[in-house]
Amino acid sequence: MLSILLPTDFSKNSINAIKYALEFFKYQKVEFTLMHAYRNEFYDHDELVSREVFENVLNKVKTSSLNNLAKLLNEIQKIAPNPKYTYRSISAYSTLVEEANTIANEQNIDLIVMGTKGKSNARNIVFGSQTFQVLKYVQCPVLAIPSDYTNTQPKKILFPTNFLIPYKRRELKLLSILAKSYRSKIDVMYISTSNKLSIRQEDNRDFIKDTLSPNKVNFNIKNSKKVAVTISNHIEQNDIDLITMINTQHSFLEDMLFPSTIDKVSLGLKIPLLAFQNTVRN
């Protein structure tokens, strides 16, 4: 059984990501956890003007969170009456990142699915601030879904890598399970100015090959210094439906998604991103 966390701020974008997850995992046995963290909403509340109204406003925000979660859960069960699915919901006086980390650790979550943006839908950024924080700090794989994206049957998956990282078997097996459901082809793409691999890189490549062996996997080399451009071109030219990348220091994902400010993001993703954290988990 997969254990999947669905954070929500009840925006159109977050609901779209939830609907995507319900359709995407329809062949899997899944326990979904709906989660709303409302601390920031509380402190930004228009009625929080003094300490005297602190408890009243907090109770109002908490009640609203619980009611909205109950309403959303009811809608979800109507949309996806899948006997393979079970649901739970959590309303928390916490930040999204703090609560997501807590739940991921306590419930041994396999994957977090969320929209690339929440209530803020600015066109000039790829990821909203909340999604950005989760991608960067939560120690759990994240599947980020672009606004209005609806293709839940990925036939082609791109996995760019430099083969320098000793990948975690649990995360690669998750990719294998997701790809196997749709008989997806996985393009493992090595981007470098040299075709020669070190012994370390060869061992990491072989580990990927072994772990993804149940799938259709194509290994190829792209000679280039421009990683982001090479990835973008491959996505467009090969009709890629999903990209998976490792989030770790000095990785392709860090270089492209985590520069000094969010607005400098160089990879204008229009397809889902499956981001692995490459951390040791049970």
Domain ranges within the chain, ordered by starting residue: 2-145, 156-276
Average pLDDT over residues 188-201: 91
Average pLDDT over residues 190-203: 91
Cα distance between residue 120 and residue 127, in whole Å? 10
Q: Burial, 239: exposed, middle or buried (Cβ in 10 Å; 0-12, 13-18, 19+)?
A: exposed
Q: What is the 3-state secondary structure (H, E, C) of 107-135?
A: CCCCEEEEECCCCCCCCCCCCCHHHHHHH
Residues 93, 58 contacting (CB under 8 angstroms): yes
- Which pLDDT score, from 0 to 100, does residue 193 have? 85
Q: How far is CA 1 from CA 76, 86, 108, in A?
A: 19, 10, 12
Q: What is the pLDDT of the chain when averaged over all its residues?
A: 87
Q: How many CB atoms lie within 10 A of CB 67?
A: 11
Q: Burial, 260: exposed, middle or buried (Cβ in 10 Å; 0-12, 13-18, 19+)?
A: exposed
Residues 33, 6 contacting (CB under 8 angstroms): yes
Average pLDDT over residues 158-184: 92
User: Who has greater pLDDT, 122 or 15?
Assistant: 15
- What is the H or E stretch that residue 204 is in? helix 199-211
Q: What share of the chain is helix, strand, coil (3-state, %, to 5)?
A: 40, 20, 40
Question: 2-145 and 156-276: same fold?
Answer: yes
Of 179, 193, 180, 200, nearest to 225 by C-alpha is 193
**How do residues 26-57 score in pLDDT, each as one tens digit?**
999 999 999 999 999 999 999 888 899 999 99
Of 99, 24, 28, 1, nearest to 274 by C-alpha is 24
Q: Using DSSP, how many helices (H) and how many strands (E) does the chain show?
A: 9, 10
- For the domain covering 156-276, report its CATH number: 3.40.50.620
Q: Give the pairing of strands 216-223 and 242-246.
A: unpaired
Average pLDDT over residues 57-72: 96
The CATH class given to the 2-145 domain equals alpha beta
**pLDDT score of 266 more than 70:** no
